[in-house]
């Protein structure tokens, strides 16, 4: 068998002469000789691509990805090669994995000074992924409508926008509103929702004492509150709060996943079940948590992720000197009085008192949304989440990992 050194020499000579088919042949032999070397599979993909063999290039890049699954650029190269080979669904998966590994990679085509080839591939991947998510949203709304044929029209949701992956630039209705993930342009833009519009508000307010008691009992028994801003968050906006207990949370539901501590809060969960909460997958609330703000803490101005739901605060412990600003409206919490607002508007909060401030926070649908529109939104979130959760590097044609025994 030809030695690895001889293969690499042969590949180098062929590449210098522009004979990419010969270079690919040499790199293929080299990768069979040393199957654990990611670089050899990558070089094979590059040579095959230059020789016009996009299908073969895609397989070589995928082999490199399986060996080094945390390398964003490998996933990017594989995704673009798969698209060129007509394997668009797998291409979207790989481009999405690349974006998950390095969120700046797919937008790097907008930055000058980077290698032209990297910028070219990033532009292709960015466009491909945006189209895929737009198609996914349209399909989700269609499915929701088909499942409930007697529903009213959900056209406003069909025209909704997944901000981060929308194919066109997004314009928001008001200057202070800037949702980061999901936007329904035709919804009224209201900073604060009067509790008179929330038919369930009074029943939840009536449970304030029970909810406060469950919280204090859990904390007294050792329930741990975690920093709301996790230590690995990179955004400089959160530098003063990153990994700190100044703003901490006790989650009952987080990212639609029930937390073990939730079993200690039966009365709390029973109370807020009366609210028209935004839910994803198996009827789980997206987020329910107790938010603790230590004395002297300021949450800087920021925007939430969506305008289809409102954020609801039930204040449990509120010393003097605590308030929240939403857009142009400043509100002072009152214990036992709900406060509901659209957090896609710029908002900030502070505790200038001498004791901790604690509020229960959960999410409810924007009151202007109809039942069919709510179902369409939940289905779009669920379908997108399922697609993201199911992403995998495509298997080898034989179904085996490249280093699996024969």
pLDDT confidence bin for 116, thresholds 50/70/90: confident
CB 328 within 8 A of CB 298: no
Which is more confidently placed, 400 or 207?
A: 207
Residue 23: pLDDT above 90? yes
Contact 164, 103 (CB under 8 A): no
pLDDT computed for residue 201 by the predictor: 97
Q: Quote the pLDDT of residue 165.
A: 86
More confident residue, 42 or 155: 42
For residue 335, the tally of other CB atoms under 10 A from its CB is 16
CA 276 – CA 312 distance, rounded (Å): 11
Inter-residue long-range contacts of 254-262, CB under 8 Å, 24+ positions, other chains counted: 254/287, 254/289, 255/286, 255/287, 256/280, 256/281, 256/284, 256/285, 256/286, 256/287, 256/385, 257/284, 258/284, 261/218, 261/223, 262/288
The CATH class for the domain spanning 192-369 reads: mainly beta
User: What is residue 403's predicted lDDT score, i.e. its pLDDT?
Assistant: 44
Q: Look at residue 110 in the predicted model and tell me its pLDDT.
A: 67
Longest CA–CA span in the chain (Å) reads 81
DSSP 273: T
Instruction: Examine the pLDDT at 404 and tell me if it is beyond 50.
Output: no
pLDDT of residue 151: 66
Query: Which sequence spans correspond to the domains of the chain?
Result: 53-177+370-398, 192-369
What pLDDT digit, counting tens, does each position of 59-104 carry?
999 999 999 999 999 999 999 999 999 999 999 999 999 999 998 8
Identify the pLDDT of residue 119: 86
Percent over 70 (pLDDT), the chain: 95
| Average model confidence (pLDDT) across the chain | 92
pTM: 0.85
155 band by pLDDT with thresholds 50, 70 and 90: confident
pLDDT above 80: residue 112: no
More confident residue, 259 or 234: 259
Token pair 């539901």 is at which residue? 253
Q: What is the pLDDT of residue 359?
A: 98
- Statement: residue 215 has pLDDT above 90: yes
Give the pLDDT score at 64.
97
Beta strands in 255-385 (DSSP E): 257-258, 279-280, 284-285, 288-293, 297-302, 309-317, 322-326, 329-331, 339-341, 347-351, 357-365
d(CA 222, CA 216): 10
Nearest CA to 34 out of 14, 69, 64 is that of 64
pLDDT of residue 397: 73
The residue-averaged pLDDT of 278-304 equals 92
* Phi-psi domain of 250 (left: phi exceeds 0; alpha: psi -120 through 50; beta: other): beta
Q: Percent of the chain at pLDDT above 90?
A: 80
CA distance 47 to 45: 6
pLDDT surpassing 90 at residue 2? no
Q: What is the pLDDT of residue 154?
A: 83
Predicted local distance difference test score (pLDDT) of residue 401 = 45
Structure tokens at 350: 């502070």
């Amino acid at each position: 068998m030809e030695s690895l050194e001889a293969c690499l020499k042969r590949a180098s000579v062929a590449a210098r002469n522009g004979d990419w088919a010969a270079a690919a042949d040499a790199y293929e032999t080299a990768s069979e000789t040393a199957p654990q070397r990611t670089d050899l599979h990558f070089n094979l993909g590059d040579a095959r691509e230059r020789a016009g063999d996009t299908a073969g290039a895609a397989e070589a890049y995928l082999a490199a990805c399986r060996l080094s699954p945390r390398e964003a650029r490998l996933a990017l190269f594989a995704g673009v090669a798969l698209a060129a080979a007509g394997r668009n669904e797998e291409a979207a998966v790989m481009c999405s994995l690349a974006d998950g590994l390095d969120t700046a990679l797919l937008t790097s085509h907008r930055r000058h000074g980077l290698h032209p080839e990297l910028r070219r591939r990033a532009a292709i991947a960015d466009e491909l992924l945006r189209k895929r998510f737009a198609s996914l949203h349209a399909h989700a709304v269609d499915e929701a409508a088909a499942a409930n044929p007697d529903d009213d029209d959900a056209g406003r949701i069909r025209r909704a926008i997944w901000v981060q992956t929308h194919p066109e630039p997004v314009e928001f209705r008001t200057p202070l509103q800037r949702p980061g993930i999901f936007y329904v342009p035709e919804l009224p833009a209201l900073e604060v929702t009067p509790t008179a519009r929330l038919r369930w508000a009074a029943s939840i307010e009536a449970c304030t004492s029970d909810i406060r008691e469950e919280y204090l009992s859990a904390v007294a028994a050792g329930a741990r509150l975690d920093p709301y801003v996790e230590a690995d968050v990179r955004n400089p906006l959160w530098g003063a709060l990153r990994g700190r207990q100044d703003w901490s949370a006790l989650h009952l539901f987080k990212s639609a996943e029930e937390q073990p501590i939730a079993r200690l809060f039966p009365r709390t969960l029973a109370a807020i079940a009366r609210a028209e909460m935004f839910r994803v997958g198996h009827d789980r609330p997206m987020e329910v948590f107790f938010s603790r703000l230590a004395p002297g803490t300021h949450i800087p101005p920021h925007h939430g992720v969506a305008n289809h739901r409102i954020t609801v605060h039930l204040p449990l412990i509120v010393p003097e000197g605590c308030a929240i600003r939403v857009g142009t409206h400043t509100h002072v919490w009152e214990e036992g009085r709900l406060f509901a607002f659209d957090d896609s508007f710029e908002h900030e909060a502070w505790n200038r008192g001498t004791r901790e401030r604690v509020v229960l926070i959960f999410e409810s649908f924007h009151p202007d949304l109809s039942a069919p529109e709510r179902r369409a939104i939940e289905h779009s979130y669920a379908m997108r989440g399922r697609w993201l959760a199911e992403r995998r590097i495509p298997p080898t044609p034989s179904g085996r990992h490249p280093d699996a025994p024969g």
